Amino acid sequence: MNITMKFPGLEDVMVTKMEQVEDRVALHVELEVRPHQCPRCQEKTRRVHDYRIQKIKHLKWFERLTSLFYKRRRYACGACGKKFPERNSFVARYQRFSKEWNQAVHVRSVKAKTFKEVAGHYGASSSTIVRRFDVLALQEIQEPGRLPRIIAIDEYKGDTREGKYQLIIADGETRQPIDILPNRKKKTIKRYLQQHGSGVEIVVMDMSNAFKAAVQQALGKPVIIADRFHFCRYIYWALDGVRRRVQKNWTDYDRKKGKRMRYVFHKNSGKL
Q: Residues interacting with Zn ion, by CB under 5 A?
A: 38, 40-41, 43, 77, 79-80, 82
Helix axes 126-140, 115-122, angle to 10 degrees: 120
* Rounded Cα–Cα distance for residues 191 and 116 (Å): 35
Based on CB atoms, which residue is closest to Zn ion, 53 or 80?
A: 80
Among residues 86 and 117, whose Cβ is nearest to Zn ion? 86
For Zn ion, which is the closer residue by CB, 41 or 261? 41
- From the CB of residue 115, how many other CB atoms can be counted at a distance below 10 Å? 21
Nearest distance in Å: CB 30, Zn ion: 23
**For Zn ion, the closer CB: 12 or 86:** 86
Helix then strand then coil, in percent of the chain rounded to 5, is: 35, 35, 30
Distance separating alpha carbons of residues 62 and 74, to the nearest angstrom? 32
Query: What's the closest the beta carbon of residue 47 comes to Zn ion, in angstroms?
Result: 10
Cβ at position 144, least distance to Zn ion in Å: 46
Show the DSSP H helices in 149-206 as ranges: 186-196
Helices (H), the chain: 99-111, 115-122, 126-140, 186-196, 209-219, 228-247, 252-260
> One-letter amino acid identity for 137?
A
CB of 82 to Zn ion, least distance (A): 4
Q: Which is nearer to Zn ion, 39 or 241 (CB)?
A: 39
Please list, in sequence order, all residues whose beta carbon lies within 8 angstroms of the beta carbon of residue 173, skipping any fewer than 6 positions away.
Answer: 148, 150
* Minimum distance of Zn ion from residue 81's CB (angstroms): 7
Distance of closest approach, residue 123 Cβ to Zn ion, in angstroms: 39
Nearer to Zn ion, 49 or 99 (CB): 49
Shorter beta-carbon distance to Zn ion: residue 38 or 167: 38
Listed residue (167, 161, 257) closest to 214, CA to CA: 167
Whole-number minimum distance, CB 34 to Zn ion, in Å? Answer: 16
CA distances from 254 to 116, 250, 257, 259 (A): 53, 6, 5, 9
